[in-house]
Amino acid sequence: SYRKGGYHAVRVGDPFASGRYIAQRKLGWGQFSTVWLAYDTESSRYVALKIQKSAQQFAQAALHEIEVLCSIYEGDPSNSKFVVRLIDHFKHTGPNGQHLCMVLEFLGDSLLQLIRFNRYKGLELNKVREICKCVLIALDYLHRELGIIHTDLKPENILLFFTIDPAKDPIRSGLLTPILERPEGGTLNGGSTTNVIEKKLKRRARRAVANISGRRDPMGGEAPKPARCLDGIDMRCKVVDFGNACWADKRFADEIQTRQYRAPEVILQSGYSFSVDMWSFACIAFELATGDMMFAPKTGQGFSEDEDHLALTMELLGKMPRKIAVGGARSKDFFDRHGDLKRIRRLKYSPLDRMLVNKYKFSETDAREFVEFLSPLLDFSPEKRPTAQQCLQHPWLNLRSSGGQSNVDAGMNKLKI
Ligand code: ATP
Ligand code: MG
Ligand code: MG
């Protein structure tokens, strides 16, 4: 994709916006862009530089994302709503064309990386609560104040930012240390890179760092250091990636959301609104607490991924009411007129609370309380799902579990160095 219309190849030390921003290292990438850590010579701060692919459709998508991010900023100038802040934007011309660039506040690893860092064991419930609160504040702001539906909420699109508790770690206190480090060394950022071009770029970047090390940290300040253990870290996160966001009264696409976080009404094409984000949110909360995806549908013999997905939701949440099952533009592809799946005839029901206890070794109390929080968000009827505002009032968010419970703590202990 590093060709005309595609990504812009960046080398460490490359200047952007007439030298205001200096590229430091690659933070991540998506279908539309690469994202680099850059040093802002004007504010003497690190920022994230999202460099869009140059072809027309990507430029259009970036303009849309900038428009959404601007309204997010205007509605919350003090930046207190756990949504990424747009600092600047500009065009950059390179060999592959003209790239729209977004300058965003620099955040840390994604929740997906956090789940991997924790070896798919599930996080301590108190940490899950902290993360849920941030995401709900963000969703309440987007939905109620701006009328925006994110439509692509998933662990990759929620990024951490840590602040260290001075009582626990006086030396590093106050530092923003958003990058996680594996216990055995090596950060998780970019850990899954297999692509040859990416590898080449990395090698080149390392050489460039050696050559122009004076540039790497122009102000001689402390570059963010990896966190080795989650102890004493106040965990917060922000929602990013507004490339697919839309206004509830101006929707663009019928097929929205990433597969595993997709709400049933989207599969059935019965129309959607803010509550699709609430469904994804519940899937994310489950994944944080257990380390496993809530729904991971697959194509099988004689049935599609969509049909498997619907079957999985019913196995966990009970049978879908007939009216809902047959009410979508695509219902006939999956359901007969009685509201039974056409190709997957026998469902293996396994209620959520039993699964948490049996498979994930939750205590009965933890399981019951967590399910009381989650299951209303997974109502098949979108209008019945609580709003983010209602969800913020839920008592589960203010419970405190004491230590010594379940598999969760056992997993955490292994990580302490
Ligand atoms: P997608 O294919 O999901 O639409 P995209 O091209 O729109 O991706 P983003 O999801 O915005 O790009 O960013 C890609 C990745 O870059 C993120 O998953 C994250 O790892 C990293 N990233 C994005 N924004 C930031 C930021 N503000 N601070 C640190 N890292 C970031
Ligand atoms: Mg993304
Ligand atoms: Mg995107």
Give 32-46 as a DSSP string.
SEEEEEEEETTTTEE
pTM recorded for the entire structure:
0.85
3-class DSSP state of 143: helix
Residue whose entry in the numeric block shows the structure tokens 């809902």: 324
pLDDT at 149: 98
**Residues 157, 250: Cα–Cα separation, whole Å:** 22
Among residues 265, 348, 344, the alpha carbon closest in space to that of 308 is found at 344
pLDDT at residue 212 tops 60: no
50 annotated as belonging to a binding site for a ligand: yes
Report the run of H or E that residue 50 belongs to, with start and end.
Answer: strand 45-52
Does the annotation mark 152 as catalytic?
yes
Residues 77-102 have a mean pLDDT of 97
pLDDT at residue 206 tops 60: no
Decide if 25 contacts 12 (C-beta within 8 A).
Answer: yes
pLDDT at residue 11 tops 90: yes
Would you say the CB of residue 50 lies under 6 angstroms from ligand 1?
yes
Decide if 230 contacts 182 (C-beta within 8 A).
Answer: no
Residues 166-192 have a mean pLDDT of 46
pLDDT digits (tens, 9 = 90+) for 15-25: 999 999 999 99
Q: Concatenated DSSP letters for 386-404? A: PPHHHHHT-GGGG----SS
Mention every residue, 6+ apart, whose C-beta is less than 8 A from residue 359: 290
pLDDT digits (tens, 9 = 90+) for 389-417: 999 999 999 998 875 444 444 434 333 32
pLDDT at 280: 98
Mention every residue, 6+ apart, whose C-beta is less than 8 A from residue 211: 13
DSSP state of 181: B
pLDDT at residue 187 tops 80: no
Confidence of residue 200 (pLDDT cuts 50, 70, 90): very low
Mean pLDDT across the chain, nearest whole number?
85
Residues 133-150 have a mean pLDDT of 98
Tell me which residues have their CB within 5 A of the ion that is ligand 3: 241, 243
**Residues 255, 62: Cα–Cα separation, whole Å:** 19
Confidence of residue 251 (pLDDT cuts 50, 70, 90): confident
Decide if 165 contacts 234 (C-beta within 8 A).
Answer: yes
Question: Number of C-alpha atoms within 13 angstroms, CB side, residue 283?
Answer: 26
Question: Ligand 3 centroid to 241 CA: how many Å?
Answer: 5
Q: Please, which residues bridge with residue 16 across strands?
A: 21
Question: Ligand 3 centroid to 219 CA: how many Å?
Answer: 32
pLDDT at 231: 64
pLDDT at residue 260 tops 80: yes
Residues 189-195 have a mean pLDDT of 34
Higher local confidence (pLDDT), 46 or 233: 46
Ligand 1 atom showing the smallest separation from residue 84 Cα: 27
pLDDT at 111: 94
Confidence of residue 96 (pLDDT cuts 50, 70, 90): very high
Confidence of residue 276 (pLDDT cuts 50, 70, 90): very high
Measured on CA atoms in the order 208, 210, 214, 217, is the torsion positive or negative?
positive
Lowest mean pLDDT among 185-199, 312-326, 365-379: 185-199
- Burial label for 392, CB within 10 Å (0-12, 13-18, 19+), is middle
- What the block records as the tokens of 67 is 């428009």
Of the listed ligands, the closest to the CA of 7 is: 1
Confidence of residue 165 (pLDDT cuts 50, 70, 90): low
**Is ipTM > 0.85 here?**
yes
Residues 210-222 have a mean pLDDT of 36
pLDDT at 233: 64
Give the Å distances, CA to CA, from 206 to 12, 231, 248, 305.
8, 31, 45, 42
Decide if 5 contacts 59 (C-beta within 8 A).
Answer: no
SS3 string, 271-313, reads CCCCHHHHHHHHHHHHHHHHCCCCCCCCCECCECHHHHHHHHH
pLDDT at residue 292 tops 90: yes
In angstroms, the first-to-last Cα distance of the chain is 40
- What the block records as the tokens of 207 is 């050489």
CA angle at 327 for the pair 324 and 330, rounded to the nearest 5°? 115
Lowest mean pLDDT among 69-78, 192-201, 238-247: 192-201
Tell me which residues have their CB within 5 A of the ion that is ligand 2: 30, 157, 241
- What the block records as the tokens of 398 is 């203010």
Higher local confidence (pLDDT), 73 or 189: 73
**Residues 101, 33: Cα–Cα separation, whole Å:** 9
Give the Å distances, CA to CA, from 153 to 59, 71, 219, 339, 380.
22, 19, 36, 29, 18
Would you say the CB of residue 240 lies under 6 angstroms from ligand 1?
yes
pLDDT at residue 91 tops 80: yes
Question: Ligand 2 centroid to 301 CA: how many Å?
Answer: 31
Report the run of H or E that residue 355 belongs to, with start and end.
Answer: helix 352-358
Pairing of strands 246-247, 33-40: unpaired
